[in-house]
Amino acid sequence: MLERFLGSQGYRRFARRATTSGKAGGYLPSENDITLDLRDLSAFRAALRVSPDEYAHLARAYTHDPARFSPASLRLARATTRAWNRVVLRLRLQSVLPSSAFAPPAFPELAQSSAALVYKPGRAASLRVWVPTRSGESWMADGEVIECEREVWRSSGAWAQLRRGDVVANVAIPAFGNVGTLVFDGKFLRDLSFEFDVVGHLPAWLNMLGFSPSHFHNIVVASSSNPVFYLSLAPYVAAVRESLSLCKDRVSVSSPQGNYLVSRYVYRAALHLLAGQIIGDAAGAGGAGPGGIEVVHPDWAGQIVVEAEGTTEAATLLLARVRPTLSLSLSSRCSLALD
C-alpha cells in the first residue's frame, strides 16, 4: 500500500531478511529508523494538498482567537507537517542504503517528477513545523524556536534522524525569502544570517566545504543568482600564505563604445582540496565523516584559487578572512574560482 502511493516519491520497501547458508540478507532497521504506516500515508497525502499560504492562514486564525480555533484544523496542521517530516527522512534514509536493502519495485511503472519530489538525494532535508508566533509576527522568539524543536521531536523518530545542515521551515509564518527558516547545527535549530542578503543566507558556523555546492539549492533561497555561503579555510592558512602572490590580469570591460581589455593587478593564492580530508573536529555533530567528523565533500575536490584586489589592504584583508572563516558574498572584495 505504501509503495503504491509513495512510489512516485521514490519510496521502496525494505527487503525481507532471510537466512541462507547461515547469512542474513536484507536490511534490519535500527530502533531510530522511521517506519511509516497508513496514518503517515494519509496525513502526507493531505500535506501535498495544503499550500504554505493555507498554513499561514490557519496560523493567523489561531493567533487571533485560539479558543475558537477549530480542533480539526489544529489536528490537520500538526499531523500533516509531522507526516511530511517522517516521509522526507524515510526517503533520505533510502538514499544512503545499497540497492540490496530493498525489495524489487512492486509498481515500476510509477514515474517520478524531480520537480514534485519532497526529497532529492544529495540535497538538504527540508522539514516543516507549524508553530504560530505571538501576534502573528514573522520573527520567532527564542521560546518559539524551542517549540519548533519540540515539534520536530513530536514527529516520532524525526529528531534522531536529523543531520547537520538539515533545514526546518516554520510554515505558520507567511513565506518571504527565508523568514521562519532554521538550520540544524548538530544539536539545535538555529536562525539563518541576514548580514549580506535581505532574504537571508546560510550562517557563518556552517562550513560549506562539508556539503555539495548544490546541497541547499531551491531550499535556502537567495535574492540573486549568487547565494551567500561561508567556507572555513582555517586548515589551509599556511597554503594561502605561501602561495599568495601579486599577478597581472586582463579583464573584459563593457561600455557603450564597445568591449575593452583592461589590465589590473590582483593577489592570488591557490590551495588543493582532497575529498574526505578532515576540516573540523566536531565529532558527532552530523558531519559526513566517521563519527560525524566534518570532511571535504567530493564535489569540492580540486584546486581553489582565492583572489583579492591588488592592494596591500586587500591582501591583508584576505589573510585575515581566511582565518577563521572566508565569506563568499556579493559584497565581498575577495573572489574564488574552482578548477
| Per-residue confidence (pLDDT) for residue 22, from 0 to 100 | 45
**Residue 295 DSSP symbol:** B
* Coil, strand or helix at 116: helix
What does the pLDDT average to over 315-339?
Answer: 60
* Residue of 40, 164, 24 lying closest to 91 (CA atoms): 40
| Per-residue confidence (pLDDT) for residue 88, from 0 to 100 | 95
Kindly report which listed range (254-258, 270-274, 291-295, 296-300) carries the lowest average pLDDT score. 291-295
What does the pLDDT average to over 32-45?
Answer: 90
Residue scoring higher pLDDT (163 or 339): 163
pLDDT of 32 > 50? The answer is yes
- Backbone angles phi and psi of 238, in degrees to 5: -65, -40
Across 2-11, 93-102, 201-210, 258-267, the highest mean pLDDT is recorded for 201-210
Prediction pTM value: 0.84
- Backbone angles phi and psi of 328, in degrees to 5: -105, 115
**79/86 Cα distance (integer angstroms):** 11
Residue scoring higher pLDDT (230 or 258): 230
| Per-residue confidence (pLDDT) for residue 283, from 0 to 100 | 46
| Per-residue confidence (pLDDT) for residue 262, from 0 to 100 | 85
Long-range Cβ pairs for the range 293-297 (8 Å, 24+)? 294/207, 294/209, 294/210, 295/210, 296/209, 296/210, 297/209, 297/210, 297/211, 297/212
Quickly list DSSP for 198-259: TT-B--TTSBGGGS-TTTTTTTS--SSSS--EEE--GGGHHHHHHH-EEEEEEEEEEETTEE
| Conformation bin of residue 23: beta by default, left when phi > 0, alpha when psi is -120 to 50 | beta
Residue scoring higher pLDDT (2 or 285): 2
- Half-sphere exposure (Cβ direction) of 161: Cα atoms closer than 13 Å: 30
* Residue of 163, 162, 182, 187 lying closest to 172 (CA atoms): 182
- Backbone angles phi and psi of 200, in degrees to 5: 100, 155
For the record, the C-alpha cell of 321 comes out as 578572512
Dihedral, CA of residue 262, residue 266, residue 272 and residue 273, to nearest 10: -90
pLDDT band at 109 (very low <50, low <70, confident <90, very high): low
pLDDT of 218 > 50? The answer is yes
* Coil, strand or helix at 41: helix
- Half-sphere exposure (Cβ direction) of 64: Cα atoms closer than 13 Å: 9
* Coil, strand or helix at 143: helix
For the record, the C-alpha cell of 156 comes out as 516520532
